[in-house]
Amino acid sequence: MGINTERFRVKPGDEVSLDHWDPDTDDGLSKGELKDLVNELNDELEALQELLYAESKHKLLVVLQATDTGGKDGTIRHVFDKTNPQGVKVASFKKPTAEELAHDYLWRVHRHAPASGEIAIFNRSHYEDVLVVRVHDYVSEQRWSRRYDHIRAFEQLLADEGTTIVKIFLHISKAEQKRRLQDRLNEPDKNWKFSKGDLVEREHWDDYQEAFRVMLERTSTKDAPWYVIPANNKRYRNLVISQILVDALTGLDMAFPVAEDGLEGVKIRD
Average pLDDT over residues 246-270: 87
Q: Is residue 256 part of a domain?
A: no
Residue 263 has pLDDT above 80, yes or no: no
Q: Supply the range of the domain harboring residue 78.
A: 6-250
Contact by Cβ (8 Å): 236, 31: no
Average pLDDT over residues 83-96: 94
- What pLDDT score does 106 carry? 97
Q: Is residue 269 part of a domain?
A: no
**161-179 pLDDT, tens digit each:** 999 999 999 999 999 999 9
**109-138 pLDDT, tens digit each:** 999 999 999 999 999 999 999 999 999 999
Query: What span, in angstroms and rounded, lies between the C-alpha atoms of 105 and 50?
Result: 33
**186-238 pLDDT, tens digit each:** 988 888 988 888 899 999 999 999 999 999 999 999 999 999 999 999 999 99
Residue 1 has pLDDT above 60, yes or no: no
- Categorize the per-residue pLDDT at 269 as very low, low, confident or very high, splitting at 50, 70 and 90: confident
Please give the share of the chain, as a percent, with pLDDT higher than 70.
100
**8-55 pLDDT, tens digit each:** 999 999 999 999 999 999 999 999 999 999 999 999 999 999 999 999
Q: Is residue 89 part of a domain?
A: yes
- What pLDDT score does 267 carry? 85
Measured in whole angstroms, the distance separating CA 147 from the mean position of its chain's CA atoms is 20
pTM: 0.94
Is residue 8 exposed (0-12), middle (13-18) or buried (19+ Cβ within 10 Å)?
Answer: buried
Q: Is residue 41 part of a domain?
A: yes
Query: What span, in angstroms and rounded, lies between the C-alpha atoms of 31 and 249?
Result: 26
Residue 90 has pLDDT above 60, yes or no: yes
What CATH number has the domain bearing residue 175?
3.40.50.300
Query: What span, in angstroms and rounded, lies between the C-alpha atoms of 45 and 65?
Result: 21
Is residue 255 exposed (0-12), middle (13-18) or buried (19+ Cβ within 10 Å)?
Answer: exposed
Number of domains in the chain: 1
Q: Is residue 262 part of a domain?
A: no
Query: What span, in angstroms and rounded, lies between the C-alpha atoms of 219 and 190?
Result: 34
Q: Is residue 255 part of a domain?
A: no
φ, ψ of residue 118 to 5 degrees: the values are: -110, 155
How far is residue 182 from each of residues 44, 88, 155, 176, measured CA to CA in Å?
35, 32, 37, 10
Q: Is residue 202 part of a domain?
A: yes
Q: Is residue 130 part of a domain?
A: yes
